[in-house]
Amino acid sequence: MKVVKTIAELKTIVNKAKENRHSIGLVPTMGYLHEGHLTLATVARNENDVVIMSIFVNPTQFGPNEDFESYPRDLERDVQLASTVGVDVIFAPSVEEMYPTDGGIYIRAGKQAEILCGATRPGHFDGVLQVVAKLFHLTEPNCAYFGQKDAQQVAIIQTMVRDYNFSLEIRTVPIVRELDGLAKSSRNVYLSEAERREAPAIFKALQIAHDEFLISRDAEKAIILARNYIEECTSGRIDYLQMLSYPDLRQVTEETKEVLIAAAVYIGKTRLIDNVIFSLKGALAHV
Amino acid sequence: MKVVKTIAELKTIVNKAKENRHSIGLVPTMGYLHEGHLTLATVARNENDVVIMSIFVNPTQFGPNEDFESYPRDLERDVQLASTVGVDVIFAPSVEEMYPTDGGIYIRAGKQAEILCGATRPGHFDGVLQVVAKLFHLTEPNCAYFGQKDAQQVAIIQTMVRDYNFSLEIRTVPIVRELDGLAKSSRNVYLSEAERREAPAIFKALQIAHDEFLISRDAEKAIILARNYIEECTSGRIDYLQMLSYPDLRQVTEETKEVLIAAAVYIGKTRLIDNVIFSLKGALAHV
C-alpha cells in the first residue's frame, strides 16, 4: 500500500492505472477510520482493480463554530487499518495541497442542503461538494463509495453527479446494524446502558413509518406514528423525522420513485442518525 | 464526421476513444460558426486524435432580457463548415438532453464575474461554468479550446479548472486580427465605413497601455493614456478599459505574473471587445 501526500504523486498513479485500463474505486473519508469506512473499502476492493482511499479533514465543510481543529486525526492507525482491507493507495494531502488557490468559484448545494442535517449546518454541504468534486477530478474513479448512513450527503452528491454529468457511478453501501437494529456508529459508545436499550427504537420507528406508508400511502400519518413511537418508547428528543423523495429530497408525490425516511434523535446528549431508503415501484409489489 | 444529438451516443464515442488511448480535443461553441471557431478547431485538429465540437446555445448563460430565443442557429451550415477543418464529432444536443433535471446545485463564478463584461450580465458566467463543467465531464477531453477574444470567459474557466482540479488543459487560441489590427468579429460587418476606420484604435490603445506599463509600471497612467487615445481618435464610447491580473482578474500588484488589458468600446451602436495578455516575467526581458 502506498501513502501519497501530493497531487503530483496521486496523478502519476491515476494516469498509470488509466493507461493499464485498470478500474479505480474511490473511498473518500476524513480519516479516523471505523467499521463503516472499512466496509466501504471492502466493497470497493471487490469491484475495482485499484482502490484509492482519501483521508482529508476538509476545512470548507466545517462551520466557524464547528470542530475542525479538534476533529480526531490518526493517520498512522488509519494506514494500518486500511491495509487490512486491501486499499492500494491512501491519498492524505495537506490543506495547502488541496486549496493552494481560491479564485472565488463555489458550488452551492441549494434546497437539498437546507433541510435535515443541513438545517443546522449552513454551508456544510457546499464544502462537501467542493471537496468531492475535487477528489473526483483528481482520482477519476469508475465508482465512488459512500455510506447510506449519511443519506443526505449521498443524495446531494448523487444530484451533482447526475446534473453535472460526472463520468462515474456512486455506490451507496447499506447501513451496518447491530443485532437489535441500531445503526453502527462511533457515537454509540457514548450511550449509557439505559440509553443503549432505548436507541434501537429509532430504527423501529423508521420501519413503522415505512410499513404504514406502503399500506396507506399517507406520509403524514406514517411520520406521526413513527414520532409517537419514539416519544413513547424513549426519553429522546427528535431533531428531525421526515419522509422525502430520494435523491431530490422534496415532498413525496405520486411521481416519487424512491423514498427516504430519515431521523436524527438525541438520546441523552448523543445525537444519533438513521434512515431507510426504498423504491416505491419495488415496494408496491410487497403490498 | 458524425453528428450526435444524445449523451448516450456521445459517451459511446468518448469511451471508445479512451479505450483506444486516443487523445480528445473539445471545441465548445454555441454554433453559427465563424472564422474564430474554425481556427480553434484547426488547432484542436493538429493536437488531438479525436476532435469533438459541441454546438449548443446554452439557455442558462442568457439573462431574462437577453436574446436566447433569437440567437442565430444554422446547424446544417455549421456541420458543413466544421467538416472542412477536420472535426470528427459534432455534439448538438437539445436543451432537454442537456438539462433533463434540476436538483438546484449551481456553480457561482464569484468576484471574477462581477467586472468587465460580467458587470452588465449578472449570472452569465455562472451559466457558462455550468455548461462547460457538463461538457468537460461528458467529453473527458485532454484539451479544451477557447478563444482569447473572450478573455474573461477563459480566465473564469481556467480558474475553475485550476481550483477544482479538472483533469484537462485549457488552450487559449490568440486573437485573429485584420491587417490593421482590428480583432476579427462577426460584428465588424455592422460598422459603417467611417466607423471601420476608427475601430483599429481599440487595439492601438491596448498597445499604448501595454508599452507604457512595461516602462513605468504605472497601471493607472497606462490606462489613462489608452483612454485618452480612444477618446481623441474615435467617436466611440468606452464601456470598460481595465488592467487586471490574469487569470485572477484582480488589481495588478508586484506579485502579478500575467496581465490582462481588456476593453469594450461602442463604435456607433456596435460594441467591440478586444484585449492583450502578457507575462510580466517574459515582458520584462523586452524592457
Tens digits of residue pLDDT in B137-176? 999 999 999 999 999 999 999 999 999 999 999 999 999 9
Neighbours of B214 (CB within 10 A): 16
CA distance A100 to chain B (A): 8
Which residue of chain A is at minimal alpha-carbon distance from B246? Answer: A103
**Does the pLDDT value for residue B281 go beyond 70?**
yes
Q: Say what percent of chain B tops pLDDT 90.
A: 93
What is B111-135 written as a DSSP string?
A: GGGSSGGGGGSTTHHHHHHHHHHHH
**Does the pLDDT value for residue A176 go beyond 80?**
yes
Cα-based angle B128, B190, B184 (whole degrees, multiple of 5):
60
**Does the pLDDT value for residue B19 go beyond 70?**
yes
**Does the pLDDT value for residue B285 go beyond 50?**
no
**Does the pLDDT value for residue B80 go beyond 50?**
yes
Cα-based angle A135, A138, A143 (whole degrees, multiple of 5):
65
Architecture of the A2-173 domain? 3-Layer(aba) Sandwich (3.40)
CA distance A156 to B105: 8
A286 is in an annotated binding site: no
Q: In what order do the strands lie in the sheet with A237-245?
A: A237-245, A258-267, A270-279
**Cβ(B19)–Cβ(B44) under 8 Å?**
no
- State pLDDT tens for residues A67-96: 899 999 999 999 999 999 999 999 999 999
**Cβ(A182)–Cβ(A202) under 8 Å?**
yes
The grid cell for A106 is 463555489
CA distance B173 to A141: 31
Task: Choose among B248, B246, B247, B228: nearest CA to B238.
Answer: B228
Dihedral-angle region of residue A169 (phi above 0 means left; psi in -120 to 50 means alpha; beta otherwise): beta
Per the DSSP assignment, residues forming a β-bridge with A270 are A267
Task: Determine which helix (DSSP H) or strand (DSSP E) holds A26, and give its type and residue range.
Answer: strand A24-29
Instruction: Tell me the backbone φ, ψ of residue B25, rounded to 5 degrees.
Output: -110, 130
**Mean pLDDT taken over chain B:** 95
Given pLDDT bands bounded at 50, 70 and 90, which one contains residue A187? confident
- Homologous superfamily (CATH) for A186-284: Pantoate-beta-alanine ligase, C-terminal domain (3.30.1300.10)
What are the start and end residues of each CATH 3.40.50.620 domain in chain B? 2-173
Residue with cell string 489613462 = B224
Chain A residues in contact with B106 (beta carbon < 8 A): 107-108, 110
Q: Is A64 on the interface with B (CB under 8 A)?
A: no
What are the start and end residues of each CATH 3.30.1300.10 domain in chain A? 186-284
Buried b (16+ CB within 10 A) or exposed e, B159-184: bbbebbbbbbebbbbebbeeeebbbb
Taking the alpha carbons of B85, B141, B23, B148 in that order, is the dihedral positive or negative?
Answer: positive
**Cβ(B235)–Cβ(B219) under 8 Å?**
no
Q: How many helices (H) and strands (E) does chain A have?
A: 10, 10
Portion 181-220 of A in contact with B at CB < 8 A: none
CB contact under 8 A, B137 and A167: yes
Query: Residue A286: its pLDDT value, please?
Result: 41
Given pLDDT bands bounded at 50, 70 and 90, which one contains residue B276? very high
Query: Residue A78: its pLDDT value, please?
Result: 97
What is B147-174 written as a DSSP string?
A: ETTSHHHHHHHHHHHHHTT-SSEEEEEP
| pLDDT, average across residues B259-280 | 96
**Does the pLDDT value for residue B123 go beyond 90?**
yes
Residue with cell string 452528491 = A157
CA distance B21 to chain A (A): 8
**For testing contact with chain A, the best of B6, B165, B249, B257 (most A CBs within 10 A):** B165
Query: Residue A67: its pLDDT value, please?
Result: 87
Portion 245-284 of B in contact with A at CB < 8 A: 247-248
As to burial, measured by CB atoms within 10 angstroms (0-12 exposed, 13-18 middle, 19+ buried), residue A234 is: buried
Q: Is B123 on the interface with A (CB under 8 A)?
A: no
Which residue of chain B is at minimal alpha-carbon distance from A139? Answer: B167
- State pLDDT tens for residues B136-148: 999 999 999 999 9
What is chain B written as a DSSP string?
A: -EEE-SHHHHHHHHHHHHHTT--EEEEEE-SS--HHHHHHHHHHHHH-SEEEEEE---GGGS-TTS-TTTS---HHHHHHHHHHTT--EEE---HHHH-S---S-EEE-GGGGSSGGGGGSTTHHHHHHHHHHHHHHHH--SEEEEETTSHHHHHHHHHHHHHTT-SSEEEEEPPPB-TTSPBP-GGGGGS-HHHHHHTTHHHHHHHHHHHHHHHH--HHHHHHHHHHHHHHH-S-EEEEEEEEETTT-----TT--EEEEEEEEEETTEEEEEEEEEEHHHHHTT-
Query: Residue A285: its pLDDT value, please?
Result: 40
| pLDDT, average across residues B102-110 | 96
**Mean pLDDT taken over chain A:** 95
Q: Is B91 on the interface with A (CB under 8 A)?
A: no
**Does the pLDDT value for residue A204 go beyond 80?**
yes
Given pLDDT bands bounded at 50, 70 and 90, which one contains residue B205? very high
Q: From the CA atom positions of chain B, what is the Rg in Å? A: 20
Task: Determine which helix (DSSP H) or strand (DSSP E) holds A218, and give its type and residue range.
Answer: none
Chain A residues in contact with B257 (beta carbon < 8 A): none
